[in-house]
Structures are given as C-alpha cells and as structure tokens.
Amino acid sequence: MGVDRLIRRIRLHLLPWLHKSPHGPILFVRHLPYKDIKKATDGFHRIIYCNSHGTAYKARFQDGGVALVKEVTAFSQELDVFYREVQLLGRLHHRHLLPLRGFSTGNKRVLIFDSIENGSLKEHLSDPLKTPLNWRTRLQIAIGVAAALEYLLLFSDLPMYHVSITSSSVMLDENFTAKLSDVSLLSSGGNYVTVPHTSSSEECAVQERGNLILQLGVLILELITGQCSEEGGADLIQWVQGSRFASSMHQMIDPDLGNDYNSSELKKLLAVAKLCLKSGDEPMFSIPQILHYVQKKLDVSRD
C-alpha cells in the first residue's frame, strides 16, 4: 500500500514525546516528509470531505498507493498537544477504524491514515460509475460502523473524542469493509479533555453518545435509500418520521438494489434507524444494545 511503501523509502522519525499507558507502551507513530504529502495530495486539492473538525484529502503516491490525509484545524495549539493526539489515535486498533500510519507538520499539521482502495461510502451511493452496493454489504457496513462505535465507547482508553459518521467519512477497503475515518480528540478551549469523570465532562460524554446514535440512524437511512443526506439528515429524518412512511417505505429503497433485498430485514433495519433518530441528550439505548439488536435480528455475525 502507498503509505507503507513510502514509509519504507523515506527516513523515519520517531515521536520525541513517548508516554507509558496503564495498558502498556504507546506504539511509535512515524513522521513523514511534508513535501511528499503535499505532492501526493496535489497541493492539498484532492478533497474527500470537509467539516468543522478538518478537511480530509486523498493522497495518491507515485507507486499508485492511496491514503487518506486529514488536516488538523487547531494549528494554534501547542505542538506537544498535537503529538499527544497522534499518540492516542495511533493506539486505536479495530477492524472498522481507519488506522493511523503517520503524521506530518509544515504549513499544515496532518494525520496520515491507511489506504482507501474503494473510496468513500458516499461515492458508491451517489456515483453512477461506481459498483452498486448489494444488500448484504450494506448490512455489514451498518454493523461495522456500530461495532467501531462500541469499541470507542467501551474498549479504548481514550479520554474524550469526537466522531463524525457520514457517508463521506465512512471509507471502504478492497473488500468493502467499512472504516470510520473521522475520529479526533474532543477539545475544550484548545486543551484536550483528560479528566472524563467531572460532572461537566460526563454530561458532554452523554450528549456525544446521543449524537453518535443519531448519526448512526441517518447513516442507516442513507444505506437503505441510496441518498446522501445533507444538513444532518433532516430530509431523511422527516421522511421516516412522517405519517406516510409506511405506505412509501418500498418506494424509498435505493433503485440500485432492485428487488434484491430481504423485506423482513429491511423493516428491522428501519426500526433500528427510527430508534436511533429518537435519541436526544439522554439516549434510551446504548450503542452496544443497538449493535446486539442488529446482529441478532439480522442474523449477521460480528466481524
């Protein structure tokens, strides 16, 4: 893959700040030359997605390898805070998270993630030239994203973080396995929160979980309808909560699916989406509960 080959070719620099974690040593994350990243992204013009937490670019290297490069917007923060974020994100390991391979600093501070052979989910839902996703693949994507969220909430030892779940930021590898790409530490006034047990941070964590569940519900609707929603999914939410939802349900199925889907699974997946969309500041269901329900009702085993 492009990043790995680049890393073998160039001079490697280890992070100057290394800390011990309660769960073992932090893995080294490698520094890549800024000029090589700038060239691979065509001067940072190959934009994949852009939001309030940064811009992601496609990097294409001379050997044909492809990677995702994400700009860190908080450029004014202390450099050691940026390194701390690099270290923490580098410790995340899950099949449905895009792994961090390196970082670079120059006019921008960027994070370099693993290759993205099949691009974003949005491309496959909206680009007629892309291979249409079959029903089973869509189910696996929904379950994979939920599994990644479960990992972030229960099994990683990050402090607090921001996760954006959109069809633009869900990447697909060569096997169409979903990979979340937009994960960053949640900051407060430029300093990353490291004390997650105060009342204010606990309240923030609850709100973040509710927001994640809502985003998951919108993503499920995008997978079902093939429509890439804008403005937080307001259009799809309005449809699924409307009075004519039951009668229009089959009319909203992505035409690319044809009749190649299971009606029973469709109804169950829509039920999950509706539960997610009811999530507010105090969600009624947790991500692990949603994941367990989807796996059980749809008879799709965990990866």
Q: Which comes out higher in pLDDT, residue 17 or 255?
A: 255
CATH no. of 119-298:
1.10.510.10
Look at residue 124 and tell me whether its pLDDT is greater than 90: yes
Give the pLDDT band (50/70/90) at residue 135.
very high
d(CA 170, CA 166): 6
pLDDT given for residue 30 in this prediction: 83
**CATH 3.30.200.20 domain span(s) along the chain:** 32-113
Give the pLDDT band (50/70/90) at residue 274.
confident
pLDDT given for residue 302 in this prediction: 47
Q: How close are the terminal C-alpha atoms of the chain, in Å?
A: 23
- What would the two tokens of residue 277 be? 């969309």
**What's the full length of the chain, in residues?**
303
Closest CA to 166 of 233, 117, 81: 233
Give the pLDDT band (50/70/90) at residue 193.
very low
* Per-residue CA distances from 13 to 17, 28, 104, 126, 130 (Å): 12, 9, 10, 40, 38
Mean pLDDT (the chain) is: 79
pLDDT given for residue 191 in this prediction: 41
**CATH 1.10.510.10 domain span(s) along the chain:** 119-298
Look at residue 111 and tell me whether its pLDDT is greater than 90: yes
Mean pLDDT calculated for residue range 98-109: 92
pLDDT given for residue 97 in this prediction: 95
pLDDT digits 0-9 by tens, 17-67: 343 333 334 456 788 899 999 999 999 999 998 887 789 999 998 878 789
Mean pLDDT calculated for residue range 182-204: 56
- Classify domain 32-113 at the CATH topology level: Phosphorylase Kinase; domain 1 (3.30.200)
Mean pLDDT calculated for residue range 154-171: 78
Mean pLDDT calculated for residue range 269-281: 82
Instruction: Output DSSP code: residue 131.
Output: P
Token pair 């039951």 is found at 246
pLDDT given for residue 185 in this prediction: 76
pLDDT given for residue 25 in this prediction: 40
- What would the two tokens of residue 1 be? 């893959």
Mean pLDDT calculated for residue range 114-125: 88
pLDDT given for residue 190 in this prediction: 41
